[in-house]
Amino acid sequence: MLDQIQEKVNNLINKIDFWEEEARRLRQSISDLTKEQEGLERVIERNTKADVVLTHLFDKLNERGLSVLDKLIEEGITVIYPDRNFLVRHEVKEERGSNQLNFYLLENRPDGKEIVANMRNATGGGVRAVAGLICTYYYLLKMNAERLITLDEGLSQVSDQRVENLFELIKSFGKDSGFKMLLITHDVRFRPYFDREYQVTRGGSLKEIKG
């Protein structure tokens, strides 16, 4: 009789231990989910703040006159394409609840035709890549950010006859504003213009081959 009672007591203790362990596991799961929710809320809060900051920066830039950036792009493109007659204009449109900034490239051709293209779709000789480089320079300058531009194959669209002019423009960034550029490329046309050159070995290390 005592053995049966002891067995029932042991079974009851085992069940209590099981449910206590199950309750501990559930409490831990609830704690983990709470932390994950708090983390997501922080991410949402940071993203919201980032949207506010970007909107503020956009407004400040607009207050100072986007025409300055129009002119800078126009002058930079003229350095590289002196034989073509380009004008640059911007347009701010509200799309999907936020301001969207678009630049337009107007080219007056010798035959009297005027070609208008959104800068995003501009083609021929790497015009879009050059405009993107100038915008990057301008925004970093205005935001007083670190004066280093890093590009991964960002200029390979530039045609052969424009390469020298391109690097004249890049040199002016360094001379006028202290910018440096890190260019990752397979394009051998750019090699004569590098101050320092590194090669990635098969082992993944960097080997200086010019400097």
CA 57, CA 54: separation in Å to the nearest integer? 5
pLDDT for the residue numbered 200: 85
| 59, containing H or E segment | helix 2-64
Q: Give the residue extent of every domain in the chain.
A: 1-64, 65-210
pLDDT for the residue numbered 12: 64
Asked whether the beta carbons of 90 and 81 are under 8 A apart, the reply is no
**pTM of the entire predicted model:** 0.61
Asked whether the beta carbons of 77 and 130 are under 8 A apart, the reply is yes
Please tell me the CATH code under which domain 65-210 is placed: 3.40.50.300
pLDDT for the residue numbered 57: 64
pLDDT in tens, 16-37: 766 777 778 877 877 777 777 7
The strand order across the sheet containing 114-118 reads: 85-95, 98-108, 114-118
pLDDT for the residue numbered 189: 92
**Positions of the chain with pLDDT under 70:** 1-15, 17-18, 43-65, 122-125, 211
pLDDT for the residue numbered 43: 66
